Chain A
Amino acid sequence: MEKFIKWLEEYYAPVAARIGEQRHLKAIRDGIVSLIPLLLMGSLFLIIAFPPIPALAKMVEPYVASLCSVNNATMGLMGLMASFSIAYSLASSYKMDPLGNGLISVATFMLATPFTKDGNITAGWMGSKGLFVAMIISIFAVEVQRFMIRKNLVIRMPEGVPPAVARSFMSLIPGFITITVVWFINSVLSLSATNVQDIIYKILAAPLLSLGGSLPAFLLAIFFAQLLWCIGIHGAALVGGVMSPVYLTLAQQNAAAKAAGLPIPNIVCQQLWDVYGNIGGSGATFALVLMLLFAARSTQLKALGKSGIGPAFFAINEPILFGMPIVMNPVLMIPFIFAPLVSITIAYFAMDAGLVDKMFAMAPWTTPPIINAFLDSGDMRSAILQLFCFGVTGIIYYPFFKMWDDAKAKEEAGAKQSKKSDPNVIIGA
């Protein structure tokens, strides 16, 4: 076990960190994260449009279309906005002009998108369906400009010209090339009655989504995240960062289906992790915190339970992770890895069997348990399912908690003994 932890530290962590910190992936993550407030706002209106109480639902029924329009303008434009925000963050990371690059990327994104015969924008491609094209185009647009700046193939204004003007001239030739290339590709594709959006969706996005949206892949991603936490690295931020385009797209598909009155397609989505994998924080430690608080014999662990219980309601558990500690602790690592995996698997099959409704709304990840389960699906049974999963995580944690608590209590008793014989020994806080 010691060797395994060492191996994790030496080989796994650096590789994972390098992937998580890769410039383009980071730009995609930062670009998409900047959209989350909008997704949450859209979600809120969706919850209002489809309230979980039948009497209320009947009352808002005439306003459903108007309430859904908020969702259409936020979640429904996720792809379009990402084409701006990803180019913006990538250009800032290169210390290039973020605004200019963002704008070129939006224009290019629209160019790649098919319009209707009457010249209208196709709303379908503006949402998560266009997200992958947005990622590719924004990276392409910024990289073209970077390449040309490096080769000095840009128009440089003499000194004394205001920087804003100089910058816009600088992006002129690269922007022209980006747009021309995409225009050319799209024109060739249109000969066979297709377009960039369609092709990318079919060959890239659809397979990625069905693969990333499968239960085994989801569990694997969480396994990797938990493993990172075991060596004290923020696994959810790293793995979630890489996977969030997939999970958020699946979440938006659910929201769109709900708004359109269709059955909700995906069980795996961002919320499955938030609601069932993170009850009380990474590793579903809520049950563990309660044990620390009410069942610990060790005074240190009891104190930890006290400081950990408040944050646990908001899915924050660093005090537990580093204080118990779970990090680098071969005993507690085991339930820490498996509790969320088991909890998510249970939730998955419960939804698959139709025992509870699938999730369409998205509450912030800091929303307390029960409330988040209820809000995200609008189904009271979800809260019961979450309680059940919470109970299961408690059963998984208990034997390991007991083992650790006994060891700690013994240690403390030993320290007290030696303190009696030697008044100079001070017990560590």
Chain B
Amino acid sequence: MKILLVCASGMSTSLLVTKMQKASNDSGSQDEIFACSVDQLEEFIDTCEVVLIGPQIRYKAKSIGEIAAGKNKGFAIIDSVSYGMVDGKKVLEQAYALKQS
């Protein structure tokens, strides 16, 4: 599954990308995870299946959610505890839960 992480500048979520990629490789699933900044969202959104945004930009949840819904992508705000602990596995689970629903 292709998962896009979005935060203000794409810096802090890129920390999470590494951890999620590792969790994904460990579990043997073929996920592709990448991060971008809010401004690049429209450039990258078509290439992914699920969009997750960092909790620090949840004030943009509404506008990004609408874009994601319009393109039929799964969308959620990353749980702030897993985000803070940079818990790749938990966030990966969150992404998978979105795909199923």
What is the interface of chain A, defined by CB distance below 8 A to chain B?
13-14, 16-17, 20-21, 30, 33, 229, 232-234, 236-238, 303-304, 307, 311, 314, 316, 318-325, 327, 366, 429
Show 24 residue pairs from A and B whose CB-CB distance is below 8 angstroms, ordered by the A residue. A13-B59, A14-B59, A17-B59, A20-B59, A21-B59, A21-B63, A232-B58, A234-B7, A234-B8, A236-B8, A238-B59, A307-B85, A307-B86, A318-B7, A318-B83, A319-B12, A319-B15, A321-B84, A322-B81, A323-B85, A324-B84, A325-B81, A327-B55, A327-B84
* Residue contact B84 to A323, C-beta cutoff 8 Å: yes
What is the interface of chain B, defined by CB distance below 8 A to chain A?
7-9, 11-12, 15, 39, 54-60, 63, 80-81, 83-87, 90
Interface of A is mostly: helix
Q: Which residue of B lies closest to A33 (CB)?
A: B39
Given contacts A311-B12, A311-B15, A234 and B57 within 8 Å (CB-CB): yes
Q: Complex: how many Å from CA A325 to CA B55?
A: 12
**Which listed residue (B11, B84, B90) contacts A322, Cβ 8 A?**
B84
* Chain B contacts for A320, CB-based, 8 A: 84
Q: Which of A17, A20, A318, A324 has the most CB of B within 10 A?
A: A318
**Which listed residue (B8, B55, B85, B86) contacts A237, Cβ 8 A?**
B8
The 8 closest A-B CB pairs, nearest first, are A322-B84, A323-B84, A17-B59, A318-B12, A234-B56, A237-B8, A234-B8, A322-B80
* Chain A contacts for B56, CB-based, 8 A: 229, 232-234, 318, 321-322
Q: How far is the CB of A35 from chain B (nearest CB, A)?
A: 14
* Chain B contacts for A316, CB-based, 8 A: 11-12, 15
Q: How far is the CB of B42 from chain A (nearest CB, A)?
A: 10
* Chain A contacts for B63, CB-based, 8 A: 21
Q: Which residue of A lies closest to B90 (CB)?
A: A429
* Residue contact A233 to B84, C-beta cutoff 8 Å: no
* Chain B contacts for A323, CB-based, 8 A: 81, 83-86
List 16 other contacts, CB 8 Å, given A316-B15, A318-B54.
A13-B59, A20-B59, A21-B63, A232-B56, A233-B56, A234-B8, A234-B57, A236-B8, A307-B85, A307-B86, A318-B12, A318-B15, A323-B83, A323-B84, A429-B87, A429-B90
Q: Complex: how many Å from CA A229 to CA B11?
A: 17
Q: Which residue of B lies closest to A322 (CB)?
A: B84
Q: Complex: how many Å from CA A17 to CA B60?
A: 8
Q: Complex: how many Å from CA A14 to CA B9?
A: 21
* Chain A contacts for B81, CB-based, 8 A: 322-323, 325
Q: Complex: how many Å from CA A14 to CA B60?
A: 10
* Residue contact B84 to A318, C-beta cutoff 8 Å: yes
* Chain B contacts for A325, CB-based, 8 A: 80-81, 84
Q: How far is the CB of B4 from chain A (nearest CB, A)?
A: 17
* Chain A contacts for B39, CB-based, 8 A: 30, 33
* Chain A contacts for B15, CB-based, 8 A: 307, 311, 316, 318-319
* Chain A contacts for B84, CB-based, 8 A: 304, 318-325, 327
Given contacts A237-B8, A311-B12, A327-B80, A319 and B59 within 8 Å (CB-CB): no
Q: How far is the CB of A292 from chain B (nearest CB, A)?
A: 12
Q: Complex: how many Å from CA A101 to CA B86?
A: 43
**Which listed residue (B11, B58, B83) contacts A233, Cβ 8 A?**
B58
* Chain B contacts for A307, CB-based, 8 A: 15, 85-86
* Residue contact B80 to A232, C-beta cutoff 8 Å: yes
* Residue contact B11 to A366, C-beta cutoff 8 Å: yes
Q: Which of A21, A232, A327, A366 has the most CB of B within 10 A?
A: A232
* Chain A contacts for B90, CB-based, 8 A: 429
* Chain A contacts for B58, CB-based, 8 A: 232-233
* Chain B contacts for A311, CB-based, 8 A: 12, 15
Q: Which residue of B lies closest to A323 (CB)?
A: B84
Q: How far is the CB of A196 from chain B (nearest CB, A)?
A: 31
* Chain B contacts for A233, CB-based, 8 A: 56-59
* Chain A contacts for B60, CB-based, 8 A: 17, 21
Q: Which residue of A lies closest to B19 (CB)?
A: A307
* Chain A contacts for B9, CB-based, 8 A: 237
Q: Complex: how many Å from CA A104 to CA B56?
A: 37
Q: Complex: how many Å from CA A307 to CA B87?
A: 11
